[in-house]
Structure 1
Amino acid sequence: MQYVNRKSLVVSLVLSLAACGGSEIQAEPAPELTIEQLEAGEVCESGGIIVYVDGVESATVCNGADGQPGEQGEQGEQGEQGEQGEPGEAPNVVVEAIEAGDVCEAGGQEVRVEAADGTVLNTAVICNGIDGDAAAPAVIIGEAQDCDFGGVSVTIGDADPFEVCDGAPGEAGEPGEAPSVSVGSPADCEFGGVSVTIGDAAPFDVCNGAPGTDGEPGASPAIDLATIEAGGACGDAGGYLITITDAQGVEETATVCNGEDGQGGQSGPLLAIESCTITAPSAVAMSAGTSADAFGQVVVEEFGQGVVDVPASFVAELGYGDVSADPATWIYRTGISDVTGELLGDFGTEVAVGEYGFVWRVALEEGDAWTYCGVNGTFDTFAPADAGTLTVAAAGEPVTIAAWDFAGSSLTASEGVGSAQFIEGGVPTTCSFFGGGDDEWTCDNFLMDTEFFQPDGVTPKSNVYFRYEADFTGYSDISASGLFKVSNSGPTHLQIAAEYGDGSLEFMAEPFEITARNTEFNATFVLPPAAGNSGPVAYRFYPYNPSSTGGNMRMITISFAGTAL
């Protein structure tokens, strides 16, 4: 059988999905399959069939030609000539329709090639195509999981998802060059100005505004003169109080006294408050029902003579209140000053629990205008930053008594009032400050012994210790917390003693064991005396049992807290 292929009988249906457009997918109808018998002729010598798809010729299948007669048999030596064979018969091509069903869902054609005796030599089934599904697959867009610079995850129908990643950000471009700026004379400014040109842009004018109207004449200071009667600040001679108020309301006062017995008319000294400030600590803490002290410093000058002693008529008051209010409305208590101008006052026991600001106010004598002073010195217009801080805790709550931060090589208490020393052989000794920022107070030459006490069990063998002195006497339930460090050959134990005014000592029941080596560690100690008893005048810290005299201990920070009695 001859087979001529003119067009593939396989028809592909391609569904196009428009990316990001969401367009509907259009289904194409199945192709129509028809078969036409072909008479014997030039195309097929013995006839055949033509297959059409959608009316277009797709393939031609030709019937085979009849066979040639068989060859004559050879004549035997004695026999007769054999009979001629029968002519061969050409096979037939049979086409039968196939109903829609299991073999062809939409029906089709079966093409068989049969021998003359009906034997099927070959067969082929050609099924009609099936209409495509018009439904588009679902498309799901989500967040990409494996994209370095972000992207989306796309899932189409039942297929596995795939990711579309954003590209990496481009490198930053080179900075643009700043345009040139030139200044010239303005083209149109009534009261003068400048012409400005930036880069290649057109110039523009910046004009001066019109002159303002003349202001009001300045105010001269007001001077008030008050008589000081005999027996007052000027003694029996009496005198005058001069008050000068400038245009901003700032007052200065001066006292002018009559000469004694009216001889010579000589006036008293002309004094003024040169400066006044809160001195450390600027942050004060106390418990409700107790009181706490505050300190300040005032400087008095005599006209033409410089700094002088504070006069006997000088008055000072310590006040506290809400920092959002005018200090003139705060609560004040009378303070005292010595002739050098050092101020001392207390807040009293009536202060309620809370957070307050505090300041000093001073005058050369009773009745003068007050000069207010805070942590930054005197001020005319108050700001919260000018005030010290007063913290009043509920009764029984611990408060900070004094604290040290040794950064900056300082042995002065960073909070509260106190002093620190290193004692060796009963004598204060200088130790080094160690660290990148001088933040470790480093001492050595401690007792090299595992036993701290003498055989009597109460007398220490060591006379080398850190000593912290502060106002511990008004507190009970005292504790110390700090950040410390020892070298690899440093002490292994630390004993702490309370030192009382009579020189007696009270030690912790057990020493503190130092296990961290050459690394910073935090520690908190419950200190003697027993709970509820008044504290001592100082505390001693005795490190001991190093492996060498050079083994050191370093104090980094330390803070003492207690409950006010």
Structure 2
Amino acid sequence: MRSNRLVILMGFCLVALIGCGGDGERGAQGPVGPAPEVVVENEAAGANCADGGVKVTIGDAAPLYVCNGADGTVGSGGTKGDSGDSGPIGQDGPQGPIGQDGPQGPDGISPSISVEPIDDEDDDHDCGEAGGLKVTVDQNDGSDAIVEYLCNGADGDKGDDGDKGDNGDKGDNAIAPTVTVAPITGADTHPCGVVGGLKITVDAQDGSEPTTTFVCNGTNGTNGSNGLNTIAISSFGPNVHAECPAGGLQITLTDLSNVSTSHYVCHGEQGEQGETPPVSIGDATAEQCPGGGKVVTLGEQAPFTICNGEDGFSPSITVSTITPGLVCEDGGYRINFTTGLDANGTPIVEEVLLCKVTEPVAPLVIGWCNLQHPASLALVDAEQGDVYGRLFIAGVTGSQSLGRSGLLVAQLGYGPANTAPSSSWTWKAAARNLDYVDANNDEYKGVIGGLPAGSYDYAYRFSGDGGDTWKLCDTSGSDNGYSPADAGKLVVTFSPQAQTIVGWDFTGQTLVPNVGTGEITYSGIGTTSFPGSNPAWSSNNWNGTALDLATSPYFQMSFATTDFNDIALNFRHQRSSTGPTNLAVAYSIDGGSFVIVNEVTLSGTTFSTYEFSGIAALTDKSNIRVRLYAWGASATTGTWRIDDVIFSGFPIP
């Protein structure tokens, strides 16, 4: 009934366009008037159309409304009664008076309006499987036709049973097929073998034989020769592997013997909005793999299992301490190696004893040390710097050394500025610089860096008794003791980091920013939507032929850059095959005129990234508007979508 009502209403609309002339003198013929502008747009449910519809505005005339019919309630079936007689056809009503003809004006341009169901091949709508109507208005002035879609509403809830209606003529009986799904039994003849499956029977209820389909369970996978060790997933582009001309994913499975096998998940031929098939990997159940394993699901394919092989024998090593005594005078370690199993399954164990031999070692006497260079450091962010210190021990250091004891320890440390070194400082081992050669001294090198912003002191310290006692070393050497004034001086600073001012990722299918404060508006575009599993924001009606800052359709973002400079814009975008071919970005400050940043050509039908930065005029402003203009679509139904819109900047010091 909804489509019949729409045709009748459109007829009323056309009748309304015919004026009735009144009585009066015949005036002079007027000039040819311009073709009236016709605007067709969706009408939300409200006072004009209770269930929504289409608003048609022709020139300056009052708008006309083509309203959707309300969904009727479904009552319960009444008891079949006798057929009633057909009622009489009512008489035609009297014809109203016809006014006098007015003066004949020149022929104007009459728009034509067509209403038709949405075609299955029409993919430029958001009605989904519900379908609807396609309304096309051609102004017959050489411009592109205006197309709007009226989507069927979702089925309403079942209403209360209505009053029993009058008996109507007997209609044909409807045929309602039945479908049954049951597990395969031993009585069934089927191709599934021992694995079993499901039996699906469809009875069309039209006297024909029911049809039966069997869905078989998959056979159990074979056990792997060795357990799964690693799974690596990598993507590759077109023509890299012969198996996948359009590229895809390579899944490499490596077992414990380092034997690798590869599986390929191929991309299909590039579609308008294709997506990489998902890959998921989970743990197999004990029933799937008694020894453990993985379940791999590649896109929409049936999952497959990769089971671990049976465990082999792993040699074990145990180490225990031997207390000082008869076995080892100074103590030691007992090491047991289990190398295998004998014929009876008993472990084969081999034992090794390692006894300590303690020899007294005299501590070293530190003669002199210093912090050699640099005396100061300035580091930015996570930078690191090399710091050198020198040491003298008579008979131990320098090219005349007779050997260096293991009791010698060298460390570079740092702590808060103008404080004496202590255990609260951070100390790290320093290594001897073998490139330095001197008759008396050794040189050590340590690394400092990766610290939070701030000021620090740094110094060396050396120990000749394994760290029990230490000698501190500053830039003036150790002979006159340690002074914080002579410590190394470190200043760490951090370069400014860009921060997101406002951003939209359209998660939740909303125009509210997910970061910061801002607003999105638009003008001149058609139907908007949030398509895709990872929603972007999309619209059509980008079919202008050239950029006009006053009339071209656009998306607009409004926000403030207070206390920020070096403003940058970054977003992803995608056009359909009939979508716009040109993009321009423009900005306005404090309500002023829009200034074009640049124009780019849009090509391809996959997501690409746009970014710009360095517009000094956008620094520290309380009212900024940025517009994304697009034009050049080959059809009004061609779409363009945007996603992950981010405006960023650097805080002003």
TM-score interval for Structure 1 and Structure 2 normalised by the shorter chain: under 0.3
Using the size of structure 2 for normalisation, the TM-score is 0.24
Larger Rg: 1
TM-score using structure 1 length:
0.27
